[in-house]
Chains A and B, each alone.
Chain A
Amino acid sequence: MALVKEGVPFRGTKEQELALKKVISELKDTKGAMMPILQQAQDIYGYLPIEVQTMISDETGVPLEKIYGIATFYSQFALQPKGENRISVCLGTACYVKGAGEIFNKLQDMLGIQNGQCTPDGKFSLDSCRCVGACGLAPVMMINEEVYGRLTTDQLPGILAKYK
């Protein structure tokens, strides 16, 4: 067993740390403060890596495990950062029967990351999502705000190349 420290190295700034400490000192003594602290920490850093959760643990005295348990329970919290380019592949019913699963697997292979992760260079993050409201174009994926429909796996290298 080893510490899960993969993907993008932590690039937190002094300003971010000060902002987080301010949030914690304001909320620390109120009951049920952990959810708003985690939400605001995610607003500040974009995600909740071990460095951020440890800062919260040290400041609040709440065991790191307790914080990690909350952060991994709710799907609103991300433990991996989002990339410069956020890819989301629809795995809703219509897209799925049209082969979105293969698209998704191909992207995982090409980028060398799993669902929810970010490439080490910070360029791409990959998520699965549910319906984006374009079932007529199934299978569909979005990169940032751009929608790509009627996808086939052999189109993927060309599409990704546009973002490199």
Chain B
Amino acid sequence: MENVTLKINGVTVSAPKDSTILDAARLAYIEIPTLCFLKEINEIGACRMCVVEVKGAKTLVASCVYPVAEGMEVWTNTPKVLDSRKKTLQLLLSNHNKQCLSCVRSGQCELQTLSRELGVDDENYYKGGMTPCELDETAVHMVRDNSKCILCRRCTAICEKAQNVGVIGPNKRGFNAFIGSPFGMGLGDTSCVSCGQCIAVCPTGALYEKSCVDDVLAAIADPDKYVVVQTAPSVRTGLGEEFGLPIGTNTEGKMVAALRRVGFDKVFDTNFSADLTIMEEGTEFIGRLTGGGVLPMVTSCSPGWVKYCEHYFPDVLEHLSSCKSPQQMMGAVVKSFYAEKAGIDPKKIVSVSIMPCTAKKFEITRPDEAANGVPDVDFSMTTRELAAMIKKCRINFLELPDEDFDAPLGLSSGAGVIFGASGGVMEAALRTAVEILTKKQLPSLDFTDVRGFQGIKEASYPIEVDGKSITVKVAVASGLANANELMKKVRAGEADYHFIEIMACPGGCINGGGQPRVPADVRNNVDYRKLRASVVYDSDKANTIRKSHENPAIQELYSAFLENPGSHKAHHLLHTSYVQRKVNYTV
């Protein structure tokens, strides 16, 4: 790529020809503030926060979309620029609910940060009406409070472009404009898949998950309840960010210690039930492969993906694995095997999950997710809610010692932990399925072709089964727009894969809609997904057991309780069913 030379605040910078002023300024170590800009997702130059002066230009220009040119001279911090940014903020705040003290985003709000930096206070600069709005609480997992919305359109862009869902968008015009769903529908009335990516990219407190922190604390305080918690693989990859630790810090030990101090009776690991998922899903896959079942088989761990499939591909649901997600498998095992073993009435158990996910809140309400006559999981919390809970309980997180999960449902293999990253479920499944099929030990456990953050990954593995050679073809997609592309091929009968892994969120659960929000300036410039994923891959490497079928706690669960993978009992507890849904079902 050819470079051009320009001057920013008098400093000479050489930048690639196709870069914007915003990119070039970073090369000169100058950060230009933004609000609406999200790299590759929302590049619309709408909010005017990033304006700069360019020599010869009639007006201030939006640096996020303005291309650099040879000999260009740019100023990013003249009084004219700073005044304009300040005025933009004042205008935004004039139509903003400024109850910051009780706002979920207080302290982490991008609007608040900019206001503080530019010296804009909460005075009403432009007195007048406010755009009328009401709280949308119709969705099971989240709330939209448009009184805090600044119309940046990050949520609508990620919903439409990355997730191919598009159930929210700008409606009406001018002062009456608002982000919402069509015809006054609430989010819960639409084909929203509950992925929560909109929450993850919102710069303010307009979007947030429905919190169950207080319900869980109440259950813990109830002496008649036995409160069990499980934590998903990705939670430990992101939780530290909420406490100021660098992105990519593994906080597993501190997290377990914190959960004990919050008061949970048992702290189990969803990694264990990820191993269990592999046993069931691997067996199902082998059955379909050797028994002429429906192929490709598609994973069913991601409830956002499952709901998307039900809405947008209701005609090909038979491709979905019948396995419950690891969250639900853990729930079902806690209230059956564990309850029996520990001699506790399942009705007295409150089963809590900590997930990087908001769709898990939807999943616990699904039909056919209550194997023991009581819900498999009672409360599903996000990583963000866990952080809020730890802060509320005033636990000194950073000083905590590392502690281990409780046995037996806290023991897991390296295959379980990599479930958190796109390709991880596939890799874990291959480690087990290939060894069972070939009856031989794998020489290498690293299936690196399915790792990484490309939207769609493909690989094929030649294996020998009973003297016959088969090439197992697999595909991995993350982000529902990519899933859509792959599934269109499946629908058309053009996909000759045997096995497909799909996760709803781009990059997998480490980038789930329930993970700590990454501010746009970091998100646009740091490969935070790679940093978080390194936690699960390092943890896998460090584990002495790296295959699900070699996890002794899993082996014991089968020998003492479930009999075999795919047994009648396993089916009753660990498998589920799906429903056909429509995209537009309002008429």
Contacts and interface: CB of A to CB of B under 8 A. Distances in A.
B167 A63 contact: yes
Interface string B166-178: 1111111100000
Given A50-B587, A54-B586, A57-B584, A1 B134 contact: yes
B265 interface: no
Interface string A1-40: 1111100000000000000000000000000000000000
Contacts of B182: 50, 53, 64-65, 67-69
Interface residues of A, number: 20
Nearest to A63: B166
Interface in A44-59: 50-51, 53-54, 57-58
Contacts of B134: 1
A66 B169 contact: yes
A2 B180 CA distance: 12
B169 A68 contact: yes
A69 B167 CA distance: 11
B584 A73 contact: no
Interface string B437-457: 000000000000000000000
A134 B587 CA distance: 43
Given A64-B182, A73-B173, A51 B587 contact: yes
A53 B583 CA distance: 13
Contact of B584 (A1, A4, A54): A54
Interface residues of B, number: 25
Contacts of B171: 65, 68-69, 72-73
B160 A66 contact: yes
A16 to B, nearest CB: 15
A46 B170 CA distance: 24
B29 interface: no
Interface stretch (B8-16, B184-192, B462-470): B184-192
A73 B168 CA distance: 15
B154 to A, nearest CB: 16
Nearest to B188: A1
Contacts of A63: 160, 165-167, 169, 583
Tell me which of B138, B166, B170, B183 has the highest count of chain A C-beta atoms within 10 A of its own C-beta: B183
A61 to B, nearest CB: 9
11 contacts: A1-B134, A1-B184, A1-B189, A2-B186, A50-B587, A54-B586, A57-B584, A58-B584, A68-B182, A72-B173, A73-B170
Interface of B: 134, 136, 138, 160, 165-173, 181-186, 189-190, 583-584, 586-587
Given A2-B184, A57-B583, A66-B169, 20 more contacts: A1-B138, A1-B184, A1-B189, A2-B186, A3-B184, A4-B184, A50-B182, A50-B587, A51-B587, A53-B182, A53-B183, A54-B586, A58-B584, A63-B166, A63-B167, A65-B182, A68-B169, A68-B171, A68-B182, A73-B170
Interface of A: 1-5, 50-51, 53-54, 57-58, 63-69, 72-73
